[in-house]
Every structure is written in structure tokens, then in C-alpha cells.
Amino acid sequence: MAETVFTLNAAGRIALVTIDNGEDYRKPTTLGRSAFASAVEVLDALEHGDWEAAVFTGKPFVFCVGADIDEFGKVEDPREGIQAGHELFSRIRALPFPTVAAVNGAALGGGLELALHCGARTLASNVRHLGFPEVALSIIPGWGGTQLLPKLAGPEAAAKVIVLNPLRQNRLLQAVDAFELGIVDRLFDPVEFLDESLQFARDLASNSVSPAREEPDWSDVETVLRKARSRVDDAVHGATRAPYVALDLIAGAQHWTLEEGYAAEEDAMAELLVSDQAQASAYAFTVVERRSKKPPALPDAKPRRIQKVGIVGAGLMATQIATLFVKRLEVPVVLRDLEQSRVDEALQTIRKEASEKKPFLATLADGGTGWEQFPGCDLVLEAVFEELDVKREVFAAVREVAPDAILATNTSSLSVEAMGADVGLHFFNPVALMPLVEIVRHRGTSAEALATAWDVVKRLRKRGVIVGDAPGFVVNRVLTRVSRVLMEAIENGNTTEETDEAMLGLGMPMAPSVLLTMVGPRVALHVLETMHAAYPDRFPLSPALEAIANGEEPVATGDNRRSVEEIRRAVLEAAADEIGHMLDEGVVGSPADIDACLILGAGYPFFLGGLTKHLEQAGLAEYGKIPA
Amino acid sequence: MREAREVFFVDGIRTPFGKAGPKGQYWRTRADDLAVKAVRELLRRNPEIPVERIGDVAFAATAQVGDQGLTLGRDVALLAGLPETVPGFAVDRMCAGALTAVTAAAGELALGAVDVALAGGVEHMGHHPMGDEVDFNPRYLSERLIDESAAVMGQTAENLHDRFPAITKERADAFAVRSQQRAAAAWQDGVMRETVVPLTVFTDDGWKLAERDEFLRPDTTMEGLAALKPAFRAGGRVTAGNSAGLTDGATAAFLAAEGTVEELGLQPKLRLVAFAYAGVPPHLMGLGPVPATQQVLAQAGLTLDDVDLFELNEPFAVQVLTWCDELGVAADDPRLNPYGGAIACGHPLAATGVRLISQLAYGLRERGGRYGLTALCVGMGMGGAVLWENVG
């Protein structure tokens, strides 16, 4: 990638500074070492020239997305990079004439911090990516972000943008939100955005306008931060320090000078940047954003064009999957179930949800109890009862009526090959929210079927990971092994509160007992039985789970009660062991694929690096250099 | 017989003109975005015209493909933020595109089809080299329907030198020097401030402010021009110095009908008196403005002496000189192109017409003249002329 360069052009006596890496919007501009060098040259020219104002802006569609995450791992002295940013940005802040950040596109992290160091900010009304993702990576916005944002917009806005949004799937601000929070001074239409920003700078220079901001409200700072802390606890349970440190820095901004704030940021980053959590997060980011978008296992074949989809089954998963197909592919989708009433109920739900997007989509869903509508389907996906023989019958019947269709199964643990499907497409509940689809291939999966599955998943706007046809695939296999350890604890007298605490303390987003209720104890039991059949030693049947599945209280049969820490340790050891087996069997090509599955399909946190990074850090496994 | 309504030119604007090609200021700017900028500035300067009253948008381009390809009038209207109820269409008469957009809109206004119209043109010759997408019918050559030189504008200019030996390279160069000098002076006074809107553009070297025409060479001299090599024929007379360069740029104008002008309280600058298009031999296309001028004068019952200002396009100095010689106007007549012409500012084909009209309006007001003429020659052997009356 080309290096990021700051260029300076004169628009009359207004200095027009562009931040550009010479690529199009698909490769957003970042700030690395070379960018700093060129920025310093521009600052020299700004400080020594006869300017009446300066406008900083980005290449089309991108302002600047902050520090280059690839330089993360190479940090030798964390303080050095932070100081360099403070030094550069404070020079922008000290310029003796009005400065305007014309935020024309995505502004993240260090990019937004640069904008905050300007005297005023304009924002294009179509910008949808503005924020501080640092805390999601277990660091903080350390180039003045934790100080200038609260000083500008108050502690509540700062806590939301710096801490809470990153913990909500890295939610970013849209232009209107940023304006309403008081982060920018003017919203302009994109069509003449820079022309109008230039005029705004001219007006500031001639004193004909002023930003005229409201003073930030610090009156309720204690309550604001207490509430924020409690929401952080709910999200990470103390397992990563960054969000807590960020809140402390926001609190400090009330009384610190900016220089004192800079110093506090430096101390914080010196601790955080080298932490296990930050290193694991940088790894997880790479896995999720890069590797899993272009997997090495993807064949070169041309995907088939899907113009009609059949869904066998009309239950909860089938209904959700059918809705997704109608909404994203916008092609006819036919359902088949044994009872017309179930089909009708499913169709009603699908049509209602699809028509909320576009009214005509409701007309695309149809179904019945027979196979009459299935001829002509390019893809048929089954989501019926998890019973191998049932599924075999389904696929035999489908082959008759739609001999050319690619046959896919949503099974969560059974053998795709044994049931006669071409490929597995394993969705996660709730389908609308969970990004992952495990794409299961077996020996007989053709290159075309696999390429089509990948393409369909992409067009459904889901994230696919290609996995082998082994019981439980990836997510259910790891989760079931972990859950088996928790059940064993309960069978030995531990409480659900203790097993929940063991997992939450790792930073899991959801207590395992809540997860079990969501998945359904019967389903979980069924998966365990499948796993047990394949690997009886590592997946013994669980009387506790059986009891819960039957609606009864589990009874302790052993007396090997453990501490929460011991349970946690046992969970991680079991996971490390199971992942080792999966890699030996070749279920996936790399530990990175397992991490992608756990992050995207089970919500495992970035700061555990999915899981393998944490297992390595805890000394429980050694994976060598993981290709990411 | 139904009565036609009078048509008025209310206001016109253009972008600075840029050099076509990777080194030009608009290389990374879309053609339709240039047009949108001109339209938005026009709207901003004429707030008394409610946008929903715009009855049609006529926009011209010679190359109606790519970033000039989506039925420009409608494309520009939508991109400029005009209401969806405002329709638009695309116009092509090559160099007289914007002029034709104006007269086509004038027809709608005169007949009462619309009350207010937007007309303009754009040509990004960097993105759309002349003739790039054209597939010449082989019949032109096999049946000798036209001389093959007719397809290359510079060769038609050489043909004019051949046809009128009295027009020498020296006269052409002298005309070019005058055009550059007058343009340089014009950038010092108010005409360009009133008719040109600067805009920021993204370039390989970051965002820049485009505020000047890139072809301006105020220090042009006869000696300098004499040293230039002929561009179209060995031993020829047409050089880069005495012709207009390949140009990117856009123009836009507001037109309104009588009645509406009073209703909205507009202060129009010009009244459209007459217009005419004429055909001439394609390989002598530069002659086109001669019969077109004669026709508008005849329509209006006026003579050349009644006309106080001429804004003629200058694709080639020799082309303007043939018009001067044929009609008996001195090449250095102060009424002719007082702010210089395309040799100095550039000629973005289908955009130029509105530049001529805007400058004519300014010139007539500045000089207190009554009648003014705008005229252009057109490839494939045509000419267009519009006669205006100053009402500003």
C-alpha cells in the first residue's frame, strides 16, 4: 500500500491540507511513521507561512482512520508513538490562525483525534463511520482523544463514544449523531462539502462567524461515570483494563490541563499497548477483518447464480433463514413442511419481515406440504429435525424433484456427507444477529458447490468460515467441550453461579446458564450425544445436562467441588485439548479459523484473541506462528 | 396564430476551464460534478427563482458516454439537488451544444411549455478525447460524401488558410496574442469574478482550489508563437498557440419567459432576439458562423452596424478571421471578444456557448450597448448564432 502523505496546497491564504494514501476508499488512509514525517513537513510550512486559516481534509470518502494496526505488533517503546502523536497534534492546536478539520468521510481513532486538535470541525452529512474503536482493541484513544472529547462534548458523550460504543459491536457514529453530541460545529451536504468548509474557514478567519459551542456539562460526572462503569462490568467483567482506564482518563479531563492529560494517556498506553489483551485484540482484528474475508481454502470455481431457493422445514431456524434469503438475495424462496399450519405461520412471519424492507419481497415467499414448488431451485437448504435418517430421506426426495440443485444442510453437528448433502451451511441463532455461517465441506463437495456456498453467504452479508465435516464442526464442538466441563463441576457440587462466574470472568459476553436457556437444553443435550458418539472419552454423557433438559434440577453426584479459578482453568485446558484434536484432524486449516468461528459465532471477545491467543498467553498451548 | 413569449437570459456561470489530460486540474473530477457545481452556484446566486419552478433542464455534451452519459439534464438536476419533479434532457450539437441547449429551452419558454429553464453544457475532453467513441460510417469515404479532413478540426482550420490565402499565420498569431492579452486584462477586472465560480478539486497532489483557466498565457508574444511547430500538417499554419487547447469545463444558465420575469421579480440581463443554425461544407466547418450571422441579422432586420458586441468562439484564430473578413469586421475591433476568447481560456466543446452569452451580458452592461451576437462554428460543417438585446 502506498504511504500516507500530508500535502499542502494554497487556496488563496487558506492552507488546504490533504491526508491521502493514494488509494481509493477501499483502502482507507491510516497514520503510520511515514505519515508523521510528512505531517511534520506540512506543520513546518504552516508555522512559517503567511496563512489566515488551515483546512485539514481527506481523500474522497475517507478523512483518516487512525493508527496503522499493522504497526501495533512492532511497537518497541509504546511511549514513543504516543508522544509523537501528542507532539504533532499539539502543533496543529497551537497554530496561530483558525484551523478546521473538514471531515469528509470515515474518521476513526487517530483521525478523529487529529480533527479534535483543530479549532473547529465540519462534517459531511453522509459520513457513517466516526468514532473511537480503540477500547474494542483493549487500548485507548491515546493521542488526546480521552482528553479533548470530554473537554469538548462533556463526559457523557465521551463515555459513550470512547467506551460504551466500542463495547457494543464497535458501534460508530453517523454524521447527525456526531453533530448532536457537539463533536462537530457544522454539518454540510456532501455535494459541495469542501467548498463550504473552505468558506467556513474564511468566515472564521474574518471573524464573521464563530463555532459558538455550549459549555460541556460536568455537573453529573460521578453518576455518568458510575453508570458507565457498571455497563462496562456487564460487558467485560473486569477481564480487560482498557475500558476502565478510559473512564478514569475521561474523569481526569475535567481538571487536568491538556498536558497533564497527555501524560496520563502516555502512562495508560505504556501499560495497555503491551498487555496480553491488546496483543490478542490486534490478532483478532486481523483474523476477523482480513483472513476470514479471503480464506486460503476458497476454490477458484465460478459460483452458481442462485435464482430460486428451496427451504425444507418451517421451524424457527428455517423461518429465520428463509427471511434472510428473501431479504438479501431477493429471489423466490419456497418452503416445505409436513403441516400446512406450520408453513402458513412461517410464511406470515417471513412476508411481514421482508415487506418491511421492500413491499414486493413479501410476494417472493411461498410454500406447502409437497414438493411441487421445488423444481427449478438452484439451492435447497434443509433445516428439519436433527435426525440423520430424516435428513437422508429429505435429500433423497429433493434430488428427485430438483436434480440440479446444490443441496445444503443447516445441521449443527451431524455428518453432512452421511446425510447426502453437497455442503453444510450452519447458521447461528438468532440468524439476523449472528454474523457467522460455518460452511462445511466434505470429500464429495464440488468446487462449484463450495464456491457457491461462499458466494451465497457473502451475499447474505454473513461471514463464512470453511470447516471440515467433523461432528459439531467448530463452534458447537468447542462450546460443548467447555460446557461439559461446567456440567462436570455442577455434577460435583458447584453452583450455576460459580460456573457462570468462571466464564464471565474470562470476559465472555453471556453467562453459560443464560446461553443454555437460549439455545435450549434439549438441543444442547442432542449435540452432546452426537459428540459423545464420536468421541466418548472427551465427551462423556452428562447426568446434569440430562436433568436440565428434562426440566429437573441437576443433582450433585460427586464431591470434587472446585474453586471458580479451578473451573476456569479446567475450561481452558479442555478447550486447548479439543482445539489440538481439531487441528490434528484437519477440521480447519489454521487456529485462526477456530478463532474466527468463536468470535463471529459465539461472541468470544477480541481480547482473548478468539481463544487460541489467550491459550498461548496462559501457557496452555503452543500454536507457533498463526497465519492470519 | 398563437403568440410567442419573449425569452430572457437571467444569469450564467461557468467553472474555471482546465487542461484536458492527466496533468489538468480536473483529471480526477467527474464531468457531471463540474456541471453540478455550475448549477449549484447558479441556484445560490438566484435565490428568487424557486427551484420547483424550473420547468426543464437542457444540458449539452458532445461525448454522451461515461460521466457525461446519463441523460445529462436529468442527471445533473438530480445530483444538484433539484426536486424530482424537475425533468431534464441531453443535447448535442458538438461545439454549439450549450448554445443549442439555450435555444431549445428558449423554444419551450416561448411556446409556454415552461416558465423557467436551466441550460448549460459540459465537456471533459480529458475523459472523452474527441471522436473517441465515434464510429464513422464508411459511406462518408467510399461515396466521398465529405472530405476526410472534415473529421479532424485542426485540418479544417488548415483548409481555411488554404481557401483564404490572405489570412496568414502571422495574422492568426497576432489574433492569438491579442486574445491572451485581453483575457489577462479580463481576469484583473470584474467579468471573470462575475461569471466564473471557483471550486475545490481532488488531484494526485491532494485537494486544490481551481480558480483560474489553465490555458492563460499572458506573456504570449509573436516571437514565441512563431517558434511553435504546426500541429496538424507539415508546413501548416495552425499551432497550439493560435488555437484553443483541449479543455475540461462546464457552464450553466437560467432562462425565463416574459411574465415570469415580472412575477418573480427577476432582473434579466438579455432578451433573445433571434437565433439561427446554418450548414456549410464539412471540411470548411469554420465558415459556419458566417451564414448563421447573416441569417439572424436578416431575421431581426438589423445590420452588423447595429450590433455593439460580438462574442465569437475561437477554436482557431483563422476561423474567427474568416468571419471578420467575410463580414467586414476588423480583427482588432474592440467590439470583438473584448475579454479574449477560447485561445486564452480554452474551449470545452459543448460548454462554451453559455460562456459566450454570460460574457456578452457583462460586456453589454459594462459598455452600455444594445445588441450583441454570440456565434460558434460546429464540426461536420455548421454554424450557430444567437442575437441578444441588452436589458440589464
Query: Is the Cα dihedral B296, B301, B304, B309 positive or negative?
Result: negative
Picking from A8, A10, A195, the nearest residue to B199 by CB comes out as A195
Which member of B37, B40, B206 has the closest CB to residue A18? B206
Instruction: Look at B209 and A189 and tell me if their CB atoms are within 8 Å.
Output: no
Note the CATH number of domain A475-586. 1.10.1040.50
The Cα–Cα gap between B377 and B208 comes to: 34
Q: Taking CB atoms and an 8 Å cutoff, what residues of chain B touch A18?
A: 202, 206-207
**Facing residue for B209 by CB, picked from A16, A57, A192:** A16
Residue B239 DSSP one-character state: B
Domain residue ranges of chain B, discontinuous segments joined by +: 7-128+245-270, 145-191+272-390
Nearest to A195 among B80, B200, B205 (CB): B200
What pLDDT score was predicted for residue A214?
Answer: 85
Calculate how close chain A gets to B217, using CA atoms only, in Å: 20
Q: Strand A53-58 relative to strand B206-210: parallel, antiparallel, unpaired? A: unpaired
Contacts of B80 in chain A (CB under 8 A): 191
Q: Give yes or no for A45 touching B (CB within 8 A).
A: no
Q: What is the grid cell recorded at A50?
A: 503567511
Among B28, B30, B42, B200, the residue to mutate for chain A (most A Cβ within 10 A): B200
Substitution target in A125, A195, A199 with the highest count of B β-carbons within 10 Å is A195
- Name, in order, each residue with C-beta under 8 angstroms of A510's C-beta and a sequence gap of 6 or more: A518, A603
First CA to last CA distance, chain B: 30
Q: Which CATH number fits the domain B145-191+272-390, given the four candidates 3.30.930.10, 3.40.47.10, 3.30.980.10, 3.30.70.980?
A: 3.40.47.10
The type of residue at A178 is A
Note whether B208 contacts A: Cβ–Cβ < 8 A: yes
Give the pLDDT of residue A518: 87
Amino acid, res. A264 = A
* Identity of the residue in A12, A191, A198 whose CB atom sits nearest the CB atom of B36: A191
Examine residue A430 and say whether the peptide bond preceding it is cis (omega within 30 degrees of 0).
yes
B79 contact residues in A (CB cutoff 8 A) = 191
List of chain A residues whose C-beta atoms are within 8 Å of the C-beta of residue B204: 22
Q: What is the largest CA-CA distance in chain B?
A: 61
User: CA-CA distance, A406 to A399, in Å (whole number)?
Assistant: 9
Separation in Å, CA of B33 to nearest CA in chain A: 9
pLDDT, tens digit, 9 for 90 and up, residues A542-586:
999 999 999 999 888 888 999 999 999 999 999 999 999 999 999
Other CB atoms within a 10 A radius of the CB of residue B84 amount to: 8
Write down the mean pLDDT value for chain B.
Answer: 97
CB A411 within 8 A of CB A317: no
The grid cell for A204 is: 472564521
For residue B199, list chain A residues with Cβ-Cβ distance below 8 A.
Answer: 192, 195
By CA distance, what is A55's nearest residue in B? B207
Residue among B204, B205, B209 whose CB faces A11 most closely: B209
All 3 cell numbers of residue A370?
Answer: 409437497
Residue B328 has pLDDT above 60, yes or no: yes
- Any B CB within 8 A of A59 CB: yes
CATH of range A309-468; options 3.40.190.80, 3.40.50.720, 3.30.360.10, 3.50.4.10: 3.40.50.720
Amino acid A289: pLDDT = 84
Element spanning B123, H or E: strand B116-124
A613 neighbors A283 (Cβ within 8 angstroms): yes
Tell me whether residues B80 and A191 touch, CB distance under 8 A: yes
Q: What is the pLDDT of residue A625?
A: 62
Domain ranges of chain A: 5-274, 309-468, 475-586
- B205 touches A: beta carbon within 8 Å: yes
Does A198 contact chain B (CB < 8 Å)? Answer: yes
User: Contacts of residue A7 in chain B, CB cutoff 8 Å?
Assistant: 205-206
DSSP A301: P
CA A389 to chain centre: 37
**Pick the catalytic residue: A47, A80, A87, A113?**
A113
Question: Which superfamily does CATH assign the domain made up of A5-274 to?
Answer: 2-enoyl-CoA Hydratase; Chain A, domain 1 (3.90.226.10)
DSSP letter at A606 equals G
Task: Please identify every stretch of chain A with a pLDDT value under 50, giving residue numbers as ranges.
Answer: none
Could you tell me which of A47, A57, A49 has the C-alpha nearest to residue A6? Answer: A57
Residue with cell 434439549: A522
Amino acid at B340: G
d(CA B354, CA B270): 12
- Interface check for B80 against chain A (CB to CB < 8 A): the answer is yes
Partner-chain contact B206 A192, CB within 8 Å: no
Residue B310 has pLDDT above 90, yes or no: yes
Q: B79 touching A, CB under 8 A? A: yes
Nearest to A237 by CA among A568, A505, A496: A505
Using a CB–CB cutoff of 8 Å, tell me whether B36 touches chain A. yes
A582's grid cell? 481439531
10 Å CB burial of residue A352 (0-12, 13-18, 19+) is exposed
Q: Do A59 and B202 touch (CB under 8 A)?
A: yes
- A194 in contact with B at a CB cutoff of 8 Å? yes
Provide CB contacts within 8 A for A551, sequence distance 6+.
Answer: none
Cell triple for residue B121?
453544457
Angle at which helices B352-367 and B97-110 pack, to 10 degrees?
A: 70
A60 has a chain B CB within 8 A of its CB: yes
Are A450 and A301 in contact by the 8 Å Cβ rule? The answer is: yes
Q: What is the nearest CA distance from A116 to chain B, expressed in angstroms?
A: 21
The CA distance from A189 to B132, in Å, is 35
Of B37, B80, B207, the CB nearest to A9: B207
Domains B7-128+245-270 and B145-191+272-390 fall in the same CATH topology? yes
Q: What is the pLDDT of residue A627?
A: 54
Is beta strand A186-188 parallel, antiparallel or unpaired with respect to A120-124?
parallel
b or e along B204-227 (b: 16 or more beta carbons within 10 Å of the residue's beta carbon)?
Answer: eebbbbbbbbbbbbeebeeeebee
Lowest model confidence (mean pLDDT) among A297-301, A326-330, B244-248, B325-329: A297-301
Contact A18 B209 (CB under 8 A): no
The C-alpha cell of B138 is what? 464508411
Measured between CB atoms, does B137 come within 8 Å of chain A?
A: no
Contacts of B361 (CB under 8 A, 6+ apart): B9, B12, B269, B270, B372, B388, B390, B392
Give the distance from CA A127 to its chain's centroid. Answer: 20
Is the distance from CB of A615 to CB of A276 less than 8 angstroms? no
- CA-to-CA separations, B167 to A5, A476, B57, B321, B375, in angstroms, rounded: 52, 89, 41, 7, 20
C-alpha B385: how far from chain center: 11
CA angle centred on B105, ends B101 and B110, rounded to 5°: 150
Amino acid symbol at A584: D
Q: Which residues of A touch B211 (CB under 8 A)?
A: 11
**Closest CA–CA distance from residue A62 to any residue of chain B (Å):** 13
Work out the pLDDT band at B66, boundaries 50, 70, 90.
Answer: very high
User: What is the pLDDT, as a whole number, of residue A212?
Assistant: 75
What is the average pLDDT value for chain A, to the nearest integer? 94
Q: What is the pLDDT of residue A74?
A: 62
Q: Radius of gyration of chain A from Cα atoms?
A: 27
B202–A contact, CB cutoff 8 A: yes
Q: Which residues of B are catalytic?
A: 95, 347, 377
- Reported ipTM: 0.94
Name the catalytic one among A47, A76, A87, A134: A134
Measured between alpha carbons, how far is A439 from B206 in angstroms, rounded to an integer? 44
A113 annotated active-site: yes
Order of strands across the sheet that contains A436-441 = A365-368, A333-336, A309-312, A379-382, A406-409, A423-427, A436-441, A463-468
Check the CA dihedral B186-B189-B194-B196 and report its sign: positive
The per-residue pLDDT for range B111-164, each reduced to its tens digit, is: 999 999 999 999 999 999 998 889 999 999 999 999 999 999 999 999 999 999
Q: Which fold has domain B7-128+245-270?
A: Peroxisomal Thiolase; Chain A, domain 1 (3.40.47)
Q: Which helix (H) or strand (E) holds A100?
A: strand A99-103
- Bridge partners, A11 (sequence order): A14
CA distance A443 to chain B (A): 47
Cα(B314)–Cα(B306) distance, integer angstroms: 22
Closest CA to B215 of B236, B190, B238, B184: B184
Using CA atoms in the order A223, A229, A235, A241, what is the torsion angle rounded to 10 degrees? Answer: 160
Q: In what order do the strands lie in the sheet with A130-131?
A: A62-64, A106-108, A130-131
State residue A24's pLDDT score. 92
In tens, the pLDDT along B212-231 reads 999 999 999 999 999 999 99
Residues of B in contact with A195 (CB under 8 A): 37, 199-200
Q: Which three cell numbers stand for residue B356?
A: 459566450
What is the residue-wise DSSP string for A440-501?
EE-TT--HHHHHHHHHHHHHTT-EEEEEES-TTTTHHHHHHHHHHHHHHHHHTT--HHHHHH
Chain A residues within 8 A of B207 when measuring between CB atoms = 9, 16, 18, 57, 194
- Chain A residues closer than 8 Å to B208 by CB: 9, 11, 16
Q: CB–CB of B207 and A8 under 8 A?
A: no
d(CA A542, CA A556): 11
What is the rounded CA–CA span in Å between residue A132 and residue A157? 12
At A358 the pLDDT is 92
All three cell numbers of B53, joined, read 419552478
A128-165 tens-digit pLDDT? 999 999 999 999 999 999 999 999 999 999 999 999 99
Residue A511 phi, psi dihedral angles, 5° rounding? -65, 140
